[in-house]
Amino acid sequence: MRTIRIGELKLARTVAIDLGTSRTRLADANGSLLAEIETVAAVDSSTSKVAAVGENAIKLAADRPGRFILASPIGRSKVKNVGLLNSYLSVLAKSTDLKSFSRSKVALAMAADSKTMDVKAVQACMSDLGVKELVLVETTLAGAIGAGLDPVSPEGVMIANLSASRAEAGILALGESVSWAVCDRGGADCNGNIYRFLEEHHGVIVSRDVTEELKIGLLKQGRRAPRIQVSVWGRSAKTGDPSQVVVMGSDLLDLIDPVLRDMVGACTAALARCPAELVSDLYESGITLIGGVSLTEGLVQVVEASTGLKVRLSDTPQAAVVQGLCSVLSDGRRSAVHQMAGIRV
């Protein structure tokens, strides 16, 4: 963990931020969720200012195409645009009881492979927002705490965060990552593959919601999936008129399976780098899955088969990271926090 004191004014409140590529979650130190929205902003093309965020941004851009353009400040769990992130968080805060981040203490999760420039980008943004104390915690570390694991213990524990943009697996002991691996592919890549396939091979354009429904619905079919014929409604790429096509489940699985295999590969890669003395601990404790993709039907069994370890799904896989950050901020975890290693700069 890295703590950065930006000023000496009395702190107004404490806030946990899980700034994901797909969704952003804000919570207070008590664990109360302040906001959970899509990590996207609607930018006014005439003024370059952020007009709305989250679902409101998506609706605004759909209602007034050309005038408002959707943009995300985060890509693959890294900051893409500091200015956009600043505006996005500012508008988000105003839409909640928080109102602003001025004079606040913030705990924020960052990827284990974050570089110095990534940390500096976050620091600059938080400083501009008026944050007075910034605590940076590795995503796997925060997720492990939120999932009920004890990463401060000398016994090794393993966490895998499978999200929309990437997979990040970490083995933790004595409050730090002793082995980790990442894969820059996620659930959104499955959706993107489906979107392009339908447009290029069937001449149909579909929405993001449709690709997500196709992915989830197909995976729920299990072994029947390859033989299923799927009816898909969308717009004709040529005329824009409503259009229906029928595709084979096997064709869609060919677009999904390679991504999921790569994501699971992050788990096997982290295990391959694990110190020998911790391997026996992992056979006892297994792997805990968090992140939205971890809810994928049958994925627990796939990870078990690939790693040879028992695998469990966190009780709150999508909220585990922000819950862990809340624990870092709370008095109950303060003594343990000082033992934790976080972002390396």
pLDDT tens for residues 141-150? 999 999 999 9
**260 vs 292: CA distance, rounded Å:** 13
Tell me which amino acid residue 127 is: S
2-38+75-143+321-337 and 149-185+260-315: identical CATH topology: yes
Report percent pLDDT > 90 for the chain: 76
pLDDT, greater one: 299 or 342: 299
pTM, whole model, 2 decimals?
0.88
CA distance 101 to 123: 13
Tokens 């959707």: give the residue: 70
Instruction: Name which CATH class applies to 187-256.
Output: alpha beta
Q: Which of 91, 97, 81, 76 is nearest to 42 (CA)?
A: 91
Please report the pLDDT score of residue 13 as a whole number: 84
What is the pLDDT, as a whole number, of residue 97? 86
Please report, for the chain, the start and end positions of each structural domain, with discontinuous segments joined by +: 2-38+75-143+321-337, 149-185+260-315, 187-256
The residue written with tokens 């200015």 in the block is: 83
Right CATH number for 2-38+75-143+321-337 from 1.10.10.920, 3.40.50.2300, 3.30.420.40, 2.40.10.10? 3.30.420.40
- Residue range 201-229: mean pLDDT, rounded: 91
**Mean pLDDT throughout 93-104?**
91
Class of domain 149-185+260-315: alpha beta
Interhelix angle 320-329/139-146, rounded to 10 degrees, is: 90
Angle subtended at Cα 293 by Cα 305 and Cα 230, rounded to the nearest 5 degrees: 95
Query: Averaged over 209-213, what is the pLDDT?
Result: 92
Average pLDDT estimate for 266-276: 95
Q: What is the pLDDT of residue 285?
A: 94
